[in-house]
Amino acid sequence: METLLERFIRYCKMNTRSNESSTTVPSTQSQVEFAEMLVKDLKECGFSEVELNRSNGFVTATIPSNVDYPVDTIGFIAHFDTADFNSENIQPQIVENYDGSDLVLNKELNKVLDNKTFPNLKNYVGHTLITTDGTTLLGADDKAGLVEIVHAMIYLLAHPEVKHGEIRVAFGPDEEIGRGANLFDAPNFRAKFAYTLDGSKIGELEYESFNAAKAVVELSGVSVHPGTAKNQMINCAKLAFEFDSLLPQNEVPEHTEKYEGFYLLHDLKTEIDHGTMTYIIRDHDKENFLARKQTFVDNVDYLNNKYKAERFKLTLSDSYYNMKEVIEKDMKCVDLAKKAMENLGITPIIKPIRGGTDGSKISFMGIPTPNIFTGAENYHGPFEFASLNDMNKAVETIVEIIRLNTEV
């Protein structure tokens, strides 16, 4: 069997970047190829019921119970797509016994993982780190979580003395573009509760996520020759600036933290006579979330009345909701994970996710699904890295959750 490190590097080297503009499921052929490879790997490792659902892109498998009494079925979930950053020719680099110094990822490009910019590095002295070569992302989001789940299951198969109920695993596509879990087959997953392995630093345990929406504002202007434009031209770039100025300028990602919500102008494309603004709206509090969406409605109405024409057209669509609404009704899954970490000498860091996971959607499908750490940081770019030490701790945490579940 491959070691955790070997499997992680092999999986990271495979380009599985998702594509928001695609209409296929999964959104890229490379994800299909990865899923097919994963099916083969899981069968070779001894998993049961290994299946690739061609309609939703998920690979699912089972570790059968080895106890003769009823135990809740637990699920473990990770995604195999990566974010919208260069994913071609990923070349992971291994740093053994990290000494705390700045890490030169790419001398030619002057890409340095430095302590001043990334003070979190101080937490990893003595660890084995896996980094990028400075030109791509690493893909630890979420291949770290994926291989941790796989190796926890391999451990259980090799150690039948560890008592466990039925374990279900699922590995899916397109989480990074916000639609991976939309087609998840929750009824046939059979889990009473589940966990996504999609967090970051060791100890993270998250059961609160944002409520999330997407707002698309289409702009309609008037293009005429600039030499004769007085009282005629309506420039959509200017309309965009005007619309954005009506939003609270301090309620943006770069000025918010913890439970504070935000508006993010994610994409802006304009010509003089037409344009599109794409925003994401986030808030943990449901009432505040609804109020943020209403702000968009009110601002569009205000500006259209001002211009006495439909210069602004709004389309709002919800993306996911705060999974706390579901999980707080039965905190067993959170309590199990917290106790497992404490048993292993890990201090649980219980905090809200400033984003969402597949668990945000799967929780509302009837399977409470909090999120736990993977041991990787700086996701979605060239400074991404993973700690092999903490990845092993994630494997141990999974096994301990499973073991504790037989005692409840």
What residues contact 315, with CB distance under 8 A and at least 6 apart? 215, 216, 218
Q: Any idea which residues carry the catalytic annotation?
A: 81, 175
Q: What span, in angstroms and rounded, lies between the C-alpha atoms of 244 and 235?
A: 15
> Sign of the C-alpha dihedral, residues 4, 8, 11, 13?
negative
| Residues 176, 83: Cα–Cα separation, whole Å | 6
Edge to edge, the sheet with strand 312-320 lists 262-270, 274-283, 211-220, 312-320
CA 349 → CA 64, 200, 332, distances in Å? 31, 11, 17
Distances 256 to 251, 253, 349, 354 between C-alpha atoms, Å:
7, 5, 19, 10
Amino acid (one-letter) located at 41 = D
Rounded to 5 degrees, φ, ψ at 91 are -125, 85
How far CA 334 is from CA of 127, 207, 236, 351, in Å, comes to: 28, 7, 48, 12
